[in-house]
C-alpha cells in the first residue's frame, strides 16, 4: 500500500492516521443504520446506485440482443431521470447531515429523523422504475413520492442553515439552493411524466443536473478539496478564495438553461441509440459560438485549478488522488463541451462531439467525485484508516475505464454500441463492488469501538 504521507513530510496529521483498534462485535446488522446519518443515507445510496446500474445495463444488453422490452415511458427519459435524481439525493443525505452540522456549529442530527424522507424516496423510486415499464401514471406517482422525500430532506437542511449562528454559511447556503433546485425539478419531471411530455421531463433533468446537483458538487469541492489536500500534504496551501466559489458555481449553473434549451429545441429529433438520446438542432450559431468561448475558457481555468489545488502532489496518496482526479474530469467536460459547441457553430449544427461532454461531466466528474467522497466518509466514520487500499484503488480505476469507454463511444459512432456496453459493464463492476464492500461496513460497528 502507498504510504499516507511522502517520506520527507514527517508524520501524518491526526485525521490521516490509523485509529486505535479495540475489540468490538463486528456483526453486520441493519439496526446500525440508525447509529448515524451517514450510515442510513449512504447505505440507501449504495443500494440505489448499484440497482440503477444493473437495471440500465440489463436494458442495454437486452436491446443489443434484440429482445423487446415494454416501455410506458421512453427509455431515454427513464435513463435521464433515474441517473440524475435516483441515487445522488441519498448520498447527499448521508454527507450533509454528517458534515453540515459541523459546518454550521450545530449538534449532530439523529439518523432516525431522516428515516421517513429516505423511505419515501426509496419507495418512490421502486414504483417509478416499475412504472417506466408498465404504467406512466405509476412512474409519475413514484417520482412525486421521491420528490416529496427529497423536499423533506432539503427543508430539514434549510432549517439547520437558518438555525445556525455561524459567521460563514456561504457553502451551506449554496448547497441548500442546489438541493432546492433539484427537488423542484424532480416535481416538475413527475408532472411532465404524468402529462406524457418526454421533452419536458428531460429538460427538467438537465436543468437539475447543472443548477442543482452540479452546484452542490461545486460548492462542496471548493470547501473540501483544498482542506483535505492541506491536511494530508502540508506543503500544499489550502487556496480557496470566495471569488473562486462564485466562479465555479456560476460556470456550472449557467449551463442549466442552455442544456434544458438544447433538449427542447431538439424535441422532435430524438431517437434511442446505444442507450442515449441523439439530438440535432439547438441554439443559433452565435449562441453556440458564445458557449464555446465560455466553455473553453472555463475548461482551461478548471484544468489549471486542478493543478493549483495539488493534482500532481495528490498522486502520492490514493484516496486524495481519487478526489482530485474526479475534479480533473470537470475541466475535461468543459473543454469537450467547448469543442463540441464550436463545431456546431461552424457547421450549422451538423457536427458535434455528441454526448461525450455530458458523460465526462456526469460519469467522470460527478461519478468519480461521489465514489471518492463517499469512500472517505465511510472510512473515516467507520473508525478505519483514511486510505484507499488495493481494492478501493481497483474499483476506482474500473470506474475510470468505464468513463473513458463511454466518452469514446460518443466520439466514435461506428463503435458506439460495443463501447457503450463495455462502459456499462465497468460501471456496474465498479459501483457494484463499492456497494458490496462499503455497504457492509455501514452495517458494522466502528472498528475503533467509538459510537456513531
CATH number at residue 401: 1.20.210.10
pLDDT tens-digit map of 132-154: 999 999 999 999 999 999 999 99
Mean pLDDT of the chain: 91
Instruction: Evaluate whether residue 311 is within a structural domain.
Output: yes
Contacts of 246 (CB under 8 A, 6+ apart): none
| Helical axes 318-347 vs 368-381, angle rounded to 10° | 160
Instruction: Evaluate whether residue 2 is within a structural domain.
Output: no
Q: What is the pLDDT of residue 334?
A: 98
pLDDT tens-digit map of 412-427: 999 999 999 999 999 9
Q: 46 exposed, middle or buried (CB, 10 Å; 0-12, 13-18, 19+)?
A: buried
Distance CA 71, CA 268 (A): 19
pLDDT > 90? residue 57:
yes
Domain region containing 157? 30-442
pLDDT tens-digit map of 100-115: 999 999 999 999 999 9
pLDDT > 80? residue 67:
yes
What's the whole-number mean pLDDT along residues 283-305?
Answer: 95
Distance CA 325, CA 366 (A): 11
Instruction: Evaluate whether residue 241 is within a structural domain.
Output: yes
Contacts of 87 (CB under 8 A, 6+ apart): 45, 48, 49, 52
What's the whole-number mean pLDDT along residues 115-136?
Answer: 98
Q: What is the pLDDT of residue 238?
A: 83
pLDDT > 80? residue 7:
no
Distance CA 204, CA 213 (A): 12
Query: How many domains would you assign to the chain?
Result: 1
Q: 89 and 182 in contact (C-beta within 8 Å)? A: yes
Q: What is the pLDDT of residue 437?
A: 96
Instruction: Evaluate whether residue 17 is within a structural domain.
Output: no
What's the whole-number mean pLDDT along residues 244-254?
Answer: 96
Instruction: Evaluate whether residue 15 is within a structural domain.
Output: no
pLDDT > 90? residue 397:
yes
pLDDT > 50? residue 403:
yes
- The percent of residues in the chain predicted with pLDDT above 90, rounded, is 83
Instruction: Evaluate whether residue 37 is within a structural domain.
Output: yes
C-alpha cell belonging to residue 145: 413520492
Chain centroid, CA 279 distance in Å: 24
Which ranges constitute the DSSP H helices of 65-87?
Answer: 75-85
Q: What is the pLDDT of residue 113?
A: 96
Strands 276-277 and 272-273: antiparallel
Amino acid at each position: 500500500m502507498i504510504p499516507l504521507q511522502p517520506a520527507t513530510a514527517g508524520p501524518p496529521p491526526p485525521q490521516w492516521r490509523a485509529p486505535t483498534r479495540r475489540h468490538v462485535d463486528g456483526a453486520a446488522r441493519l439496526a446500525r443504520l440508525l447509529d448515524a446519518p451517514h450510515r442510513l443515507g449512504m447505505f440507501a445510496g449504495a443500494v440505489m446506485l448499484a440497482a440503477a446500474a444493473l437495471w440500465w445495463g440489463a436494458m442495454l444488453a437486452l436491446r443489443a440482443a434484440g429482445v423487446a422490452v415494454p416501455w410506458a415511458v421512453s427509455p431515454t427519459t427513464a435513463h435521464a431521470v433515474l441517473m440524475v435524481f435516483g441515487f445522488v439525493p441519498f448520498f447527499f443525505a448521508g454527507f450533509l447531515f454528517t458534515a453540515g452540522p459541523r459546518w454550521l456549529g450545530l449538534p449532530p442530527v439523529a439518523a432516525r429523523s431522516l428515516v421517513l424522507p429516505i423511505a419515501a424516496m426509496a419507495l418512490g423510486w421502486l414504483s417509478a422504475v416499475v412504472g417506466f415499464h408498465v404504467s406512466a401514471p405509476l412512474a409519475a406517482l413514484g417520482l412525486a413520492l421521491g420528490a416529496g422525500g427529497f423536499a423533506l430532506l432539503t427543508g430539514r437542511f434549510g432549517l439547520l442553515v437558518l438555525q445556525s449562528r455561524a459567521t460563514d454559511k456561504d457553502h451551506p447556503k449554496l448547497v441548500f439552493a442546489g438541493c432546492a433546485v433539484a427537488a423542484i425539478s424532480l416535481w416538475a419531471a413527475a408532472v411532465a411524466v404524468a402529462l406524457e411530455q418526454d421533452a419536458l421531463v428531460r429538460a427538467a433533468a438537465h436543468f437539475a443536473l447543472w443548477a442543482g446537483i452540479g452546484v452542490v458538487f461545486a460548492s462542496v469541492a471548493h470547501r473540501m478539496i483544498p482542506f483535505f489536500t492541506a491536511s494530508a500534504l502540508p506543503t500544499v496551501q489550502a487556496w480557496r478564495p470566495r471569488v473562486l466559489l462564485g466562479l465555479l458555481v456560476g460556470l456550472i449553473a449557467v449551463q442549466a438553461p442552455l442544456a434544458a434549451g438544447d433538449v427542447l429545441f431538439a424535441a422532435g429529433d430524438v431517437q434511442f441509440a446505444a442507450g442515449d438520446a441523439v439530438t440535432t438542432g439547438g441554439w443559433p450559431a452565435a449562441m453556440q459560438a458564445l458557449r464555446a468561448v465560455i466553455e473553453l475558457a472555463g475548461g482551461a481555468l478548471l484544468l489549471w485549478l486542478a493543478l493549483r489545488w495539488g493534482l500532481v502532489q495528490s498522486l502520492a496518496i490514493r484516496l486524495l488522488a481519487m478526489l482530485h482526479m474526479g475534479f480533473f474530469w470537470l475541466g475535461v467536460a468543459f473543454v469537450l463541451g467547448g469543442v463540441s459547441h464550436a463545431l456546431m457553430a461552424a457547421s450549422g449544427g451538423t457536427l458535434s462531439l455528441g454526448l461525450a461532454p455530458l458523460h465526462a461531466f456526469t460519469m467522470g466528474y460527478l461519478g468519480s467525485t461521489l465514489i471518492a467522497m463517499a469512500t472517505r466518509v465511510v472510512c473515516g466514520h467507520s473508525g478505519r484508516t483514511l486510505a484507499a487500499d488495493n481494492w478501493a484503488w481497483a474499483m476506482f480505476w474500473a470506474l475510470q475505464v468505464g468513463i473513458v469507454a463511454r466518452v469514446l463511444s460518443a466520439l466514435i459512432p461506428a463503435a458506439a454500441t460495443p463501447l457503450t456496453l463495455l462502459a456499462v459493464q465497468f460501471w456496474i463492476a465498479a459501483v457494484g463492488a463499492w456497494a458490496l464492500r462499503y455497504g457492509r461496513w455501514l452495517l458494522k460497528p466502528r472498528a475503533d469501538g467509538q459510537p456513531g
